[in-house]
Amino acid sequence: MINPHPGLPELQYVKPATLKEASKFLAENVGTAKPYSGGTDSFVRLRDGVLKLDYLVDIKGLEGTKELSFDSKKGLTIGAAITMNQVACHPDVIKHYPNLAEAAGSVASYQLRNRATIIGNICNASPAGDTIGTCMILDGVLKVHGVDGVRDVPLNSFFLAPGRTVLKPGDVVVAIHLPPPPKGLVGTYKKLGRNRIGDLSIVGVAVAAYPSSDSASGYRFRIALASVAPVPFESFKAEGVLSGKKITAELIDEAAVAAMDSVTPIDDVRGSARYRKQMVKNLTREALTEVWTKLSK
């Protein structure tokens, strides 16, 4: 009989002193060891028996993982140990990347956000990850430490499939770096869950926009979608609609339809594929209208 109240299985807690030690240990124990930060995904999967490990490698405190810093020339760096609440409440994030503060604040409940991290959200590679789309349209780049040293991985080339990324054995993501925000940036994150707090998204729509002389419309729009494809992705199709002509309510409608046409959702316990598609259209229209209203003031 399945135990309805399973506990965590026995495993070893490993606390390496350096990134080098962490990467070496992880590379020597492929399949039996994983890094973790907040543990809000890992512990649930271990408890449910979906994930089986001998070692959990705590990366909190390793070089660079506790950094949360902003510089107007360099941008924002968020270390792997930085929690959702730290991001959502940080004055520089609220001021320069308000859409990221909003996305981080949309994750689960306050209590969970005290443990959950942005890097954990990204590395878990769930199609529903609430902060991924916003980090993507802000041109996030991951700093990854592996057995051969450090390398940069742009977020838009990080995801392969649900739960699968380009990370290799021994890799530890140290931080995510976002370049300085474009001048005049306005953004939002629209999330549809089954309830207001504590649930994964049925649909997530991240929008950012700013004045741009490179675009015939005079503005550049970025749109990323969650929970409606195998991985979170940027809808270039919808963005393209908004680049060529004067922005109007009709053009926003057209872009919302293009966003809907770019998704490939599945039916699951949280919603049907058909419902998700419709809600992509509605939420994209809502997000674009809100952003455009602020931009055109």
Ligand X SMILES: Cc1cc2nc3c(=O)[nH]c(=O)nc-3n(C[C@H](O)[C@H](O)[C@H](O)COP(=O)(O)OP(=O)(O)OC[C@H]3O[C@@H](n4cnc5c(N)ncnc54)[C@H](O)[C@@H]3O)c2cc1C
Looking at residue 137, its amino acid is I
Does position 271 interact with ligand X (CB under 6 A)? The reply is: no
Decide if 190 contacts 283 (C-beta within 8 A). Answer: yes
Residue with the closest Cβ to ligand X? 120
Write out the two tokens for 243: 């680049």
Per-residue binding string, ligand X, 155-174, x by CB under 6 A, is -----------------xx-
What is the rounded distance in angstroms from the CA atom of residue 210 to the CA atom of residue 131?
Answer: 20
User: Cβ 256 to ligand X, closest distance in Å?
Assistant: 23
Among 82, 87, 101, 107, binds ligand X (CB under 6 A): 107
Short-list 268, 266, 244, 258, CA closest to 288 = 258
Per-residue binding string, ligand X, 55-74, x by CB under 6 A, is ----x---------------
Among 82, 138, 155, 200, binds ligand X (CB under 6 A): 200
DSSP code for 156: G
The order of strands in the sheet holding 233-234 is 186-192, 203-211, 219-226, 233-234
DSSP-assigned beta bridge partners for residue 189: 206
Among 8, 44, 150, 160, binds ligand X (CB under 6 A): 44
Write out the two tokens for 190: 């629209």
User: Cβ 167 to ligand X, closest distance in Å?
Assistant: 6
Contacting ligand X within 112-151 (CB under 6 A): 112, 115-117, 119-121, 123-124, 128-130
What is the rounded distance in angstroms from the CA atom of residue 58 to the CA atom of residue 290?
Answer: 40
Among 23, 40, 134, 284, binds ligand X (CB under 6 A): 40
Does position 237 interact with ligand X (CB under 6 A)? The reply is: no
What is the rounded distance in angstroms from the CA atom of residue 243 to the CA atom of residue 137?
Answer: 15
Binding site for ligand X (CB under 6 A): 34-42, 44, 59, 80, 107-108, 112, 115-117, 119-121, 123-124, 128-130, 172-173, 198, 200
